[in-house]
Amino acid sequence: MDLLSIGRIAGTLTTWWWLLLSLAFFLYIATDGTDLGAGIFAVFSKDEEERGAIMASMAGMWDGNESWLVVAGGVLFGAFPLVYGSAFNYLMIPLMFALWGIIARAVAFEFHIHAKKSKRFWGWAFAVGSLFATFFAGVSLGATLQGFPMKSGLAMQSGLAAHGVFAQDYTTPVMHFSGGILDFLTPFSIWTGVGAVIAASLAGGLYLCARFIPGDSIHERARAWTNIVSLLALAAIVVTLIWSYAIFPWAAAKWTGSDWWIWLIWFIIVLIFAFKSSTNHSVRKDFSAMMWGIGVVALLWAAMWATIFPYVVPNTWTIVQAANPADSIAVFTLFMTGFFPIMIMYNWYQIWVFRGRFSKKMAYGAH
């Protein structure tokens, strides 16, 4: 029975995990993107009360949201360890900065409440940390799309040789990252960093509009902010698409290949979602505006993953090359898949419990 051959099942399961990986990353972007964007908004807050109110508005949810990033990391390690062990090595610098941003904002949430004299400091740590985390996450994404060089053998060979140490013969067929530490840094990856900041700023603006009472100073400032950033975001999408088309042959081949009309329809749907978000926003249906906005992200994210298929990292790791042995992927599937709906359920329940609108005064008073 060809249908039941181990290789075939493993291949299918691996593709399944590739989809779940994309889902985990998407849930991270969709949930924590708003938190990060609100943090970027807070960079421009004039007073500490506003920053405090923004932080208080996400107090019960941010750690659940941020955990999707850890889940995505866990899925990557569990299903695609070959990618995990090489891509993170390649992305050492941007991940380091993004993690510092995440650390700064994670502790700022707790410290800001208790601080008296240092409130300003922790408020800034939250805001700047959000900006850093978003920018460097965007850089990491752009850098990953570009792929990276690899070879087999001892990874630390050159580092050891530079210090006059010569290791015994060590051979392994596993391909590890072999490029330079600054390979990630290109105009495109810097642009995707900027693009991530713009996208998060829009999500943050929509979130703050939905989270604070109309007429409240934060709500009104977030409105103006959203109006400007939405135009920037539209421009950023177009620039990113054109740039990607120019430098990524694998993307160009798909977008203008024989299935070009699917991509065109998809793009039109994206525009419709963006339009719906903007019309809802203008009549102050803020929650709907935010959901349509997240819909735009979902569509673009799905399109990106469809474009890189069958790769996990374009031109570097295909799904099949990067997968764990059949046995491990089967065990991972058996025990872990069921947790996804459960995780989504309780993350949703958590957000549901803490729903509702704030005013700046209420939030800050409660802070």
Q: Are 155 and 92 in contact (CB under 8 A)?
A: no
Which helix (H) or strand (E) element contains residue 292? Answer: helix 286-308
Distance CA 186, CA 68 (A): 28
Query: Please, which of residues 232-261 interact with another protein by CB under 8 A?
Result: none
Q: Which is nearer to another protein, 255 or 364 (CB)?
A: 364
70 sits near another protein (criterion: CB under 8 A)? yes
Indicate which single residue of 5, 8, 120, 167 sits in contact with another protein (rule: CB under 8 A): 167
Distance CA 206, CA 286 (A): 7
Q: Which is nearer to another protein, 181 or 264 (CB)?
A: 181
Q: Which stretch binds another protein (CB under 8 A): 241-249, 266-274, 296-304, 349-357?
A: 349-357
Query: Please, which of residues 289-308 interact with another protein by CB under 8 A?
Result: 289
From 46, 217, 55, 28, select the one nearest 137 (Cα to Cα). Answer: 28
Write each residue from 101 to 130 as x if it is in contact with another protein (CB under 8 A), else as -, in one continuous string.
-xxx-xx-xxx-xxx---------------
Indicate which single residue of 6, 7, 8, 174 sits in contact with another protein (rule: CB under 8 A): 174
Q: How far is the CB of 72 from another protein (least distance, A)?
A: 9
278 sits near another protein (criterion: CB under 8 A)? no
Whether cis (ω within 30° of 0) applies to the bond prior to 341 is: no
Spacing of C-alpha 272 from chain mean position = 23
272 sits near another protein (criterion: CB under 8 A)? no
From 194, 193, 229, 231, select the one nearest 209 (Cα to Cα). Answer: 229
Write each residue from 319 to 338 as x if it is in contact with another protein (CB under 8 A), else as -, in one continuous string.
-----xx-xx--xx--xx--
Indicate which single residue of 13, 29, 30, 82 sits in contact with another protein (rule: CB under 8 A): 82
173 sits near another protein (criterion: CB under 8 A)? yes
Strand ranges for 165-278 from DSSP E: 175-177
Indicate which single residue of 9, 185, 190, 362 sits in contact with another protein (rule: CB under 8 A): 362
Indicate which single residue of 231, 238, 320, 353 sits in contact with another protein (rule: CB under 8 A): 353
Q: How many CB atoms lie within 10 A of CB 56?
A: 20
Distance CA 57, CA 175 (A): 45
Q: How far is the CB of 225 from another protein (least distance, A)?
A: 18
Give SS3 for 141.
helix
178 sits near another protein (criterion: CB under 8 A)? yes
Q: How open is the CA angle 56-53-58, to the nearest 5 degrees?
A: 30
